Amino acid sequence: EAGVTQFPSHSVIEKGQTVTLRCDPISGHDNLYWYRRVMGKEIKFLLHFVKESKQDESGMPNNRFLAERTGGTYSTLKVQPAELEDSGVYFCASSQDLLAGVHEQYFGPGTRLTVT
Amino acid sequence: DAKTTQPNSMESNEEEPVHLPCNHSTISGTDYIHWYRQLPSQGPEYVIHGLTSNVNNRMASLAIAEDRKSSTLILHRATLRDAAVYYCILRAYSGAGSYQLTFGKGTKLSVIP
């Protein structure tokens, strides 16, 4: 079974440009999470999808970040316009139905974003 | 969110057991104790979780204090592949149906051959 995949693995863009990160969760996982680690900081939660709905977006830093999960499968995270402080590693994770008592979140390898 | 306290770093010799401590004195009755680890250049990886009783799985054991204010992750025989940052996380229900994980700084485990 394939794990969580993320694309691209690394992106270098200039300040003011737009970048879109993609996450493909494990097949059948309704829950999809985005996290990020910016330089020198801890890994922080951004938002949580249940299928195509945003369940919790309390961690989104500002309106330059837009997450979508059309059709409840893969998700994209767009940063527009990118700022220097957005540099870091963006992780996606997925998990099964929480009502089933499943607790593990499976993480992807991350996308390293560098804004110059 | 309830917070956890872990040592910044620990060392272990290969093939020996490792006990990674975590303090969580403000834990609430419904908080699960989770452990994840992050190997270099990889995303975090689930290790184990528990609520009140000690837990064992193929990767590790989790010992939870009777008052739940501390816990210990036990790796029975450390290997070089266990060198990673280990995170002790209290998984709180955020009230919006979300089970976000709140990562701290974790403990960097070094394994000496």
DSSP one-letter string for B3-63? --B--SEEEEETTS-EEEEEE-TT--TTPEEEEEEE-TTS--EEEEEESSS-EE-SS-EEE
Q: What CA–CA distance (Å, rounded) separates A65 from A81?
A: 9
Please tell me the predicted confidence (pLDDT) of residue A97.
73
Q: How far is B45 from chain A (nearest CA, A)?
A: 7
Query: Which amino acid is residue B22, in one-letter code?
Result: C
What is the per-residue pLDDT across A42-97, written as a single tens digit (0 to 9) for each?
999 999 999 999 988 999 999 999 999 988 899 999 999 999 999 999 999 999 87
Strand intervals (E) in chain A: 5-7, 10-13, 19-24, 31-38, 44-50, 53-56, 65-68, 75-79, 88-95, 106-107, 111-115
Q: What CA–CA distance (Å, rounded) separates A53 from A69?
A: 8
Contact with chain B for residue A16, Cβ under 8 A: no
Q: How far is B103 from chain A (nearest CA, A)?
A: 6
Tokens of A105: 């979140």
What is the per-residue pLDDT across B39-52, written as a single tens digit (0 to 9) for each?
999 999 999 999 99
Q: What CA–CA distance (Å, rounded) separates B110 from B113?
A: 10
pLDDT at position B13 over 90: yes
Please tell me the predicted confidence (pLDDT) of residue B35.
96
Contact (CB<8Å) B100/A91? no
